[in-house]
Every structure is written in structure tokens, then in C-alpha cells.
Amino acid sequence: MLPDELSKRAVFDTYDYPAPAFVHGRVCISGDAAYAAAPYHGAGADFAVEDATVLAQLLLAADEYTKSYDVGNGGITKPNLVRTALETYNSIRLERAHSLVKTSRHIGEIYEGQNADVGLNSKKCAEEIDWRCRKVWHYDIDEMMRET
């Protein structure tokens, strides 16, 4: 059923068509729905958990605000608080998520020997992959939560 030789590799990511935002009004996308990355970092699920953690924290803060203050005065409404929480999520997560997609694509090209800058130079390959992985794996989650 399948051909003996594949004509091209198929990795489906959002590199060529990144989402300009993860939020529109009160609608939010996260994880692979927002930024599908090639599998070369093995970090897709981790990033989805980061998204969920940030969203949960922000929505909890919005809910606590509605319980602590007179919501409705001065234009502060539950829908506005949710919208603000989602916009904050977008500002915190967009750049990091797009970075994962880009660096995963780049690492895939290196693994496949298709990166012109690295070629088949094993030292360059190791250096390039090392710093890219460190950027993904050694992210300061605590700082992200403080920012949240």
C-alpha cells in the first residue's frame, strides 16, 4: 500500500503559518491547537502543561477578583476580567511557543543533514542542538509564574 521510497519527509508544524495570537475575545487556543511543533525537542506536552498552568492561574485570579471586589462598577465585569486573563496568557506564552516551533524545525533540519550552516559537521551539530535544547529545557517556570 505504501511506496518503497517516500518522496519527501512530512513533519506538520505551524512554522510557516504561525498563529498571530492565541486569543480572540473570549476564545483561547493552547498547546498543539495554538502551535504544533515538530517532535525533535520532545517538549510539546510540557509546553501544553505550561499553557494550562498559566491559564489556570490567570482564570483563578480573575475569579478571586470577582469574589473580593464589587464587580460591575467602573466597567469591571466578569467577561472583561476573563478577556484580560486570556490576553495576559497570550502575552506570556506567544513568544515562547513560537520559539519552540522554530527551534524544533531547526533541530530537525540538523538531524536530517539539511541545515546549510551546520551541514554534517558533528561539532557544530552538537553545539547548535545543545544551546537550543537548553533554551527549551532550562526555562525558569517559577519566573513565568511570577510574571503571571
Structural domain boundaries enclosing 111: 23-147
Output the tens digit of pLDDT for each of the chain's 148 residues: 778 887 776 778 999 999 999 999 889 999 999 999 999 999 999 999 999 999 999 999 999 988 887 776 776 888 889 999 999 999 999 999 999 999 999 999 999 888 999 999 999 999 999 999 998 888 888 888 888 8
Whole-number Å distance between alpha carbons of 86 and 141: 19
96 in a structural domain: yes
Instruction: Read off φ and ψ for residue 28, nearest 5 degrees.
Output: -135, 140
Q: Residue 26, SS3? A: coil
- DSSP state for residue 24 in the 8-state scheme: E
7 in a structural domain: no
The structure's pTM equals 0.84
- The total domain count for the chain is 1
2 in a structural domain: no
